[in-house]
Every structure is written in structure tokens, then in C-alpha cells.
């Protein structure tokens, strides 16, 4: 008998309502070259507010990763939350797959929306895109927050055993999980305390709704991150940068956080969240918000909840 209810689709609808309730609307921007990007932005842009751009990582779509943050952040900022290419409803017919191209497309969307200067937060893959934006458009990006994004990784790191996986293909099979078994592996790698005993039907539903479209293109995005990557080729951005990382990150090990901090020298500060893995936006949302608040200057959360301890390293 066919399944008539999808928990994942229902959850996605709830997130849409949540974003709308936070004063955001979703619009599609046609960049005119076979590229269309979907982006949440304020229903009414307030000139007296600064602009904040939130960039998601590999996963479902922007809403699933930023839902806990848009409401409190919208009280202080004009918040924009794009779906990167091949996520949500964003796509391109062009062959480029680099984070540099993603950054250029996001910047073109912001320009078309009338935004010139912004502060940017990027998580995981979104951190690669955010860093590239800061490097390519220094006049537009004022301050930067990089969360668990191994932008300073090198191609040789996989072969030399820095990562839990032995090859990029193995990483792709987990990051772009297509079976409940692989999804469980992803949960174990992403969380310090992963969810246990999640029914296979829920995992299969999530995969069917969120993980099957644009699969080949998403694989190519990951290949592009790794191929021929060298630290010596990574530009040193000059904007004030907050690097925030889960102490037990198994996707991008914490060594990469220290490497990036050394690379940026005096322009960066590092915060390490204890008892957290890669998915800091889900495991430590209050702690993550608190550090973003302190670095970017946003108001306290409207409700008080306990947060995990954090340690700061300069």
C-alpha cells in the first residue's frame, strides 16, 4: 500500500511557515545564464538594519539548517538565506561546480536584491562558499563566521589519514546517503551524541524527499572541493573572522580549525564548542547563536535554555 504521509514533507512545510512568521519571503532570482537561485529574504528590507547572509551546508535545504536562528536574528538584521545551487529549488545548467562559482552566484543574487554590504555566516560547505565570497568580494563582506568548514584542507589530507574516510568516494557515499544504513553512518559522524534507534522508514522518507534530486551534481560539488586543493592556494582574507567548531567534529577534524586560525593570523578568533560534533547548529544551537551574537552584535534569544560549555582559543 502506498505511503500517503511524509514526515519529511510535513516538517518542510512547518519550516516554511516558521520562516514566513519571521518576516521572510522566498523568491527566485533568474541570473540569466541558465542559473536560478531561490532565496529567503525580508518581506520589507529595512535600510536602518545591517544585512546578514546565512549559508547552509550539504544537506536538505537552507530551512532545515537555519530554522532555529532566523526569528531572533531577524529582529536585528535584514536576514537573507539562499538555497545554494542543486539544493532546494536552486539550479544551473552551467558546468561549474566550485565553491567560487557558488559564491559568485550568491553575490549576484544579493546585488539583484539591492544588497551591497553584508555580514556572512557559513556552515560546513556553506563556509567554503562564505570564505570564497569574502576573498572575491572584500568590499561587500564586512565580517565572517565560519562554522566547521575545512576550507584549508589539502588534497593529500585524505591519503595521509586526517579524515575518518579513506577516499572521497567513501565520503560521498556517507555525506549523500542513499540508504538508511548510510544515513546512520552520517548521523554517527555528524553528532557527538547521535540519535539512536531512528526507524528505517523515517530515514528512507528523508532520503526520498530530500536526498535524491540532483545527486550527480552534488557529488560533483564535493569532488570539486577536494581536487588539487592546496593550502598555499588559499587566499588570506582580511575581514574579521570568527571560526567556530565542534570539539569532536569527525567530518572536518578540529586540526583544520587550528590550521585555518594560523593561516589567517591576527584576523581570526577560534571558538571550540565542547561536547559537540559537526552539526553544531543542531547540537549546540544556543551556544552557536550566543557566539554569533557576540561577534556580530545581535540581541539575546527571547527564551532562556541551557547551553553546553565552550572554550575559546585565540
pLDDT, tens digit (0-9, with 9 covering 90-100), for 11-52: 999 999 999 999 999 999 999 999 999 999 999 999 999 999
Is residue 171 assigned to a domain?
A: yes
Indicate whether 255 pLDDT > 60: yes
Does residue 299 or residue 206 have the better pLDDT?
206
Q: Output the pLDDT for position 5.
A: 82
Q: Are 31 and 57 in contact (CB under 8 A)?
A: no
State mean pLDDT over 131-153.
98
Residues 98, 162: Cα–Cα separation, whole Å = 22
Q: What is the average pLDDT value for the chain, to the nearest integer?
A: 92
**Structural domains counted in the chain:** 1
DSSP string, 155-174: THHHHTT-SSSSSHHHHHHH
The residue range of the domain holding 197 is 7-313
Residue 56 belongs to domain with CATH number: 3.40.50.1820
| Closest-CA residue to 113 (of 36, 34, 42) | 42
Is residue 51 assigned to a domain?
A: yes
Task: Provide the angle, in degrees to the nearest 10, between the axes of the packed helices 168-175 and 180-190.
Answer: 100
Residues 142, 297: Cα–Cα separation, whole Å = 13
Indicate whether 299 pLDDT > 70: no
Is residue 1 assigned to a domain?
A: no
pLDDT in tens, 215-230: 999 999 999 999 999 9
Q: Output the pLDDT for position 259.
A: 98
Exposed / middle / buried, residue 100 (Cβ in 10 Å: 0-12, 13-18, 19+): middle
Is residue 2 assigned to a domain?
A: no
Residues 15, 63: Cα–Cα separation, whole Å = 6
Instruction: State the pLDDT confidence band at 2, using cuts at 50, 70 and 90.
Output: very low
Which residues, in sequence order, are CB contacts of 169 under 8 Å at separation 6+?
none
Task: Provide the angle, in degrees to the nearest 10, between the axes of the packed helices 7-21 and 62-74.
Answer: 20
Helix (H, G, I), strand (E, B) or coil at 201: helix
Amino acid at each position: 500500500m502506498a505511503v500517503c504521509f511524509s514526515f519529511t514533507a510535513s516538517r518542510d512545510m512547518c519550516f516554511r511557515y516558521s520562516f514566513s512568521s519571521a518576516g521572510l519571503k522566498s523568491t527566485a532570482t533568474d541570473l540569466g545564464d541558465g542559473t536560478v537561485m531561490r532565496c529567503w529574504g525580508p518581506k520589507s528590507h529595512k535600510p536602518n538594519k545591517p544585512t546578514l547572509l546565512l549559508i547552509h551546508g550539504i544537506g536538505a535545504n537552507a530551512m532545515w539548517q537555519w530554522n532555529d536562528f532566523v526569528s531572533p536574528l531577524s529582529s536585528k538584521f535584514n536576514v537573507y538565506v539562499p538555497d545554494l545551487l542543486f539544493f532546494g529549488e536552486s539550479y544551473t545548467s552551467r558546468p561549474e561546480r566550485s565553491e567560487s562559482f557558488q559564491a559568485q552566484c550568491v553575490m549576484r543574487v544579493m546585488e539583484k536584491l539591492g544588497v551591497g554590504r553584508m555580514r556572512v555566516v557559513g556552515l560546513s560547505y556553506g563556509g567554503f562558499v562564505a570564505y570564497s565570497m569574502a576573498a572575491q568580494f572584500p568590499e561587500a563582506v564586512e565580517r565572517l563566521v565560519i562554522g566547521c568548514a575545512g576550507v584549508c584542507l589539502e588534497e593529500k589530507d585524505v591519503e595521509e589519514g586526517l579524515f575518518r574516510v579513506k577516499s572521497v568516494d567513501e565520503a560521498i557515499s556517507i555525506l549523500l546517503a542513499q540508504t538508511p544504513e548510510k544515513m546512520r553512518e552520517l548521523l554517527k559522524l555528524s553528532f557527538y551524541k547521535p540519535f539512536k534507534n531512528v526507524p528505517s522508514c523515517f530515514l528512507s522518507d528523508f532520503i526520498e524527499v530530500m536526498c535524491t534530486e540532483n545527486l550527480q551534481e552534488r557529488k560533483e560539488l564535493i569532488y570539486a572541493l577536494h581536487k588539487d586543493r592546496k593550502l598555499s592556494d588559499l587566499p588570506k582574507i582580511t575581514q574579521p573572522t570568527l571560526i567556530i567548531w565542534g570539539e569532536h567534529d569527525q567530518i572536518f577534524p578540529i586540526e583544520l580549525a587550528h590550521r585555518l586560525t594560523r593561516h589567517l593570523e591576527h584576523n581570526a578568533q577560534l571558538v571550540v564548542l565542547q561536547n559537540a560534533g559537526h552539526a553544531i547548529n543542531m547540537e549546540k544551537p544556543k551556544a552557536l547563536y550566543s557566539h554569533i551574537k557576540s561577534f556580530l552584535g545581535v540581541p539575546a534569544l527571547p527564551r532562556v535554555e541551557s547551553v553546553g560549555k565552550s572554550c575559546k582559543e585565540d
